[in-house]
Amino acid sequence: MPNPFHLSRRNLLQGAAAMAATWPLAGFAADDADAHPLKGRMYKTLKIGMVKVPGSLTEKFQAVKEAGFDGIELQAPGYSIAEVNEAIKASGVPVDGNVCAGHWQVRHTDPSEAVRKEALETLKQGLRDTHAVGGHTLLLVVGHGKDGTEEECWKRSFDNIVQAVPLAAELGVHLAIENVWNEFLYDHDGDSNQTAEKFVKYVDEFDSPWVGMQFDIGNHWKYGSMGDWIRQLDQRIIKLDVKGFSRKANKFTKVGEGDIDWVDVRKALLEINYHGWVAAEVAGGDLERLKEVSANLDRAFGLG
């Protein structure tokens, strides 16, 4: 069954990619931005926690717009729906999606049935609140491998999360699973030759167009080729997160710094015909810092 979200992305963002900006950035050759540009295919967003601009929520949204972003992600549940909708109306900046609140602490993999029940209720409320402000994705960390064996964590998390899928479908909000350093579905102590095979199988087990990946370019560069992982995940990717990473220094970096193969990333995104949102998840700051992050995204993806 085709994913209706992917159909809507293609309808919203038609047209061939245009020539991109060619200025150099740390981590890029001067001509890299010309290789497989994604202009016309992607919208830029960021996490609310990155916005260190003082003032009201509306003023923060306005700063996000001034910095060159097309949307913003909040955490849900946990905000005033009325306040958020007012900020959207006043600024013209949509909430494209949210991050599920508390998913690291109250986990779907927890051995306790009571904890898993709480995680499910939070997830369902996050879906409702996302829908109430017009968002279309709820990012989810499904649990942590420290809670048991891989088989136990797989079954607990799947059995819990699948109960929220009917609500996600009813509301039209996608559950977007993020690949994170949670010691689940990859070997945390392994090498850089790992694949996305387990992520593919996990998402496919839900057998629903309303469950996919908010694939983080950067989080697993330490463990495998991000271009290859994108190709393996294919249309399961419904949204992107992005940060830089240096294998040599073994640390996260600004977008464009480090040693991620951005040319191959862009090529892979074109191969899977990706259209949609890319969310920055890096250190934020004031308006000038947000403008820098926005420019870094332009250069990384050829959006200029």
pLDDT tens digits for 252-288? Answer: 999 999 999 999 999 999 999 999 999 999 999 999 9
Which range among 26-40, 93-107, 158-172, 218-232 shows the weakest confidence by mean pLDDT? 26-40
Tens digit of pLDDT for each residue in 125-150?
999 999 999 999 999 999 999 999 99
In the predicted model, is pLDDT for residue 194 greater than 70?
yes
Tens digit of pLDDT for each residue in 1-16?
333 333 333 333 333 3
Tens digit of pLDDT for each residue in 221-245?
999 999 999 999 999 999 999 999 9
Instruction: Note the pLDDT of residue 188.
Output: 97
In the predicted model, is pLDDT for residue 24 greater than 90?
no
Convert the chain into a string of H (helix), E (strand) and C (coil).
CCCHHHHHHHHHCCCCCCCCCCCCCCCCCCCHHHCCCCCCCEEEEEEHHHECCCCCHHHHHHHHHHCCCCCEEEEECCCCHHHHHHHHHHHCCCEEEEEECCCCCCCCCCCCHHHHHHHHHHHHHHHHHHHHCCCCEEEECCCCHHHCCHHHHHHHHHHHHHHHHHHHHHHCCEEEEECCCCCCCCCCCCCCCCCCHHHHHHHHHHCCCCEEEEEEECCCCCCCCHHHHHHHHHHHEEEEEECEEECCCCEEECECEECCCHHHHHHHHHHCCCCEEEEECCCCECHHHHHHHHHHHHHHHCCC
Instruction: Note the pLDDT of residue 98.
Output: 98
CATH T-level assignment (fold) for domain 4-301: TIM Barrel (3.20.20)
